[in-house]
Structure 1
Amino acid sequence: MSSATPTPRDTGLPAPTTATPSSLPAPPSPTPTPKPTILHLGDDIRWNHALYEELGAKFHIERTYSMGREDFKAALRDRRWGDFVGMYRPFWNTGGEMGNWDEELITLLPSSCRIYASAGAGFDWVDTRTLATHGIVYCNAASACTESVADTAIFLLLSTYRAFPWSFLAARSCDPTAFHAANQHIAAVTHNPNHTTLGIIGLGKIGFRLAQKAMAAFEMEIAYHDVVRLEAREKELGHVRWCGELEALLAVSDCVVLATPFEGRAVLGRQEFALFKRGARLINIARGKLVDEEALGEALDSGIISAAGLDVHSDEPNVNPKLARRDNVMVLSHTAGASVESHVGFERLGMENLISFLGGGKALTPVNLEWLVRRE
């Protein structure tokens, strides 16, 4: 008789069951990690909807819409939006209702904030150095409006050489006498820009693109002044004159264009206007406060400056009436960068900065890295 251990069949007992993966109880689901928060300042996205969806997939987006300074400060104190890691302002004409970004506002930001990506080229309204000392990278969007601003500079350049403000105002007056005066006498005081020297203060993206356009369209000679010599851009442009001192640029230029950021002081005042070539022209497509407007008026009166083209003004939205009334000054309403193409680019570049920096640590268009205090 066999001594083998009986099987369940032998004993009449039910066969044991073996648990399968599908029959095991499901492990507890891990608690989802909350997405980092981005604070979107101002109006809704208008064009780059797919990219905004991508941003929303990576980050939780909070909105401020339109909010005045005091309400914004109170919301920051109350931590209404939590520990957001970045801020996004896609338009220059909305999302800035809280006024200048100075130390008062910046010190209220959560320590989690690492980046502020904003529309526009200029950043005189934000204290980028203080942001940097708080570990926050500021990114502008100058490259998005480069074409529009450079084109406006060309328009203003032609206006100053060809006395278009005089012709325009005479025609718009519907006064036959004014029309006749412009028609008969304007040729005696106007010139073509061809082969004259264009002096550019600030050979950044906009200044560089302006140089390309002026050389191609009018065969202008280019001189420039910047805080450092930009030899790679010189090589790309070809024959370009570097002026290490501003005084040297002013002495050789038939037309001077301001294309540099405002850093707290006027670049052109009485002392500088005295160094211009007599009869030179001035164009400002940067910031109004770069020019002492009273000194500019005096230079126009004396003939040192023969004409000016101003997209920007020192006390916006107030335009200097003494300058605006002159028929040798073209004034605009700070619209050099205003185009659909610029706004589409502002939207896109801000989001690309956020995704790139927060995803891999590299901002695309930072302006304050030299002062940045790194945080662990």
Structure 2
Amino acid sequence: MPKPIVLHLGDDIKWNHELYTQLQEKFTIKRSYSMNRSDFMQALKTKQFGDFVAMYRPFWNTGGEMGNWDDELISLLPKSCKIYASAGAGFDWVDTKRMAEQGIIYCNAAAACTESVADAAIWLILSTFRNFSWSAIAARSLDVEKFKDASQNIAAVTHNPNGFSLGIIGLGKIGYRIAQKAHASFEMRILYNDIRRMPAEIEKSIDAKFYAKLDDMLVDADCVLVATPFAGDKVMDAPHFAIMKRGSRLVNIARGKLIDEEALVAALESGHLTSAGLDVHYNEPAVNQKLAKMKNVELLSHTAGASIESHIGFERLGIENILSFFSTGKAVTAVNLHWLKSSSNL
């Protein structure tokens, strides 16, 4: 019997060669490399890759040239395909519900970049309290007056984060790791809002307070961290900013479209919010020009999860998802199981 086919999207692997050899022993690997959307769709229509049973995308920045995975693309996948294991934490670019309707499990790789994202979040949180962006920009300007201005005036408007409250929207794996670091390093008080309450032992480990309603948490938090997946709509807009504590801060390491940036600009300009730290942006790679000019806003280029360790983990976890699914019937990091109609779809 011929081996089942795995379709490998994007670049060659770079690190997990022994594990990839295990995949090759059990499956025939076919490659699409970096095809554009029209070519990829034509390849699917003509069954260029055969009736593959799985798709593997080890890098978040290659193998995605075909754009969003919507019904137009998903409907062309062979009925034999049962799992899509991709790099990256977010999955707003793929219609996971539509995949489930076609009997395909989608697996992300958030676990692989948890540490990197958490470290970046801590930097952004710290920056919103200490205004490192103002200081860094002044130093890099080589302007003596700007240097003196920052050096002499930052102390009057910044704080140590110790003892302040961090309100986390979405206490998943990444949100929890951020909470651990903030609680242990800065002795911050942890508040959180999620669709479900965490087990008592989880809450106890970070001394966390659960809020069933987001609005109630926003009233109490000194710094609000957005760490929830994008589900099709904003979670922070003008009404939400209005009920936040005056002088509080906002950090986003999730997805840019979760934030109404114009409303954020207005809240910062009015002084209602003291500062913000953003790794992700609404129209990225384009950055909001108003936010970019603000010295009380720390901006990154969607690099919170960018590290060699993350990439190694993305590679490994994708392979592990496929091997686990076909050996045990269960994937490691499936995110759309709740959409699957029944086990018969698998």
TM bin (shorter chain):
over 0.9
Q: What's the offset of the Cα at 1:232?
A: 4.4
Q: Are the structure 2 counterparts of residues 135 and 198 from structure 1 closer, same or farther at C-alpha, using a change threshold of 3 Å?
A: same
Amino acid at match of 1:375: N
Amino acid at match of 1:55: L
Q: Which residue of the partner structure matches residue 258 of structure 1?
A: 226
Q: C-alpha separation between the residues in 1 aligned to 2:71 and 2:299?
A: 33
Q: Which residue of the partner structure matches residue 93 of structure 1?
A: 61
Q: Which residue of the partner structure matches residue 76 of structure 1?
A: 44
Q: What's the offset of the Cα at 1:99?
A: 0.2
Q: C-alpha separation between the residues in 2 aligned to 1:136 and 1:55?
A: 19
Q: What's the offset of the Cα at 1:178?
A: 0.4
Tell me whether 1:153 sits opposite 2:111 in the alignment.
no
Within the candidate set 241, 259, 263, 1:273 is matched to: 241
Structure 2 matches for 1:91-130, cutoff 5 A?
Answer: 91-130=59-98
Q: C-alpha separation between the residues in 2 aligned to 1:238 and 1:150?
A: 15
Within the candidate set 257, 282, 285, 1:314 is matched to: 282
Q: C-alpha separation between the residues in 1 aligned to 2:215 and 2:39?
A: 47
Q: Which residue of the partner structure matches residue 52 of structure 1?
A: 20
Within the candidate set 336, 340, 344, 1:368 is matched to: 336
Q: C-alpha separation between the residues in 2 aligned to 1:241 and 1:208?
A: 13
Q: C-alpha separation between the residues in 2 aligned to 1:37 and 1:370?
A: 26
Which protein shows a greater Rg? 1
Amino acid at match of 1:282: L
Q: What's the offset of the Cα at 1:236?
A: 4.9
Q: SS in structure 2 opposite 1:116?
A: strand
Q: C-alpha separation between the residues in 2 aligned to 1:226 and 1:272?
A: 16
Q: Which residue of the partner structure matches residue 63 of structure 1?
A: 31
Q: C-alpha separation between the residues in 2 aligned to 1:106 and 1:235?
A: 39
Amino acid at match of 2:225: V
| TM-score, L = length of structure 1 | 0.90
| TM-score, L = length of structure 2 | 0.98
Q: Percent identity?
A: 63
Q: What's the offset of the Cα at 1:148?
A: 0.2
Deviates more, 1:181-190 or 1:229-238: 229-238
Q: Which residue of the partner structure matches residue 43 of structure 1?
A: 11
Q: C-alpha separation between the residues in 2 aligned to 1:334 and 1:364?
A: 25
Amino acid at match of 2:324: S
Structure 2 matches for 1:129-144, cutoff 5 A?
Answer: 129-144=97-112
Contact in 2 for aligned 1:208/1:233 (Cα 8 Å) = no
Q: What's the offset of the Cα at 1:375?
A: 2.4
Q: Which residue of the partner structure matches residue 163 of structure 1?
A: 131
Q: C-alpha separation between the residues in 2 aligned to 1:223 and 1:236?
A: 12
Amino acid at match of 1:49: H
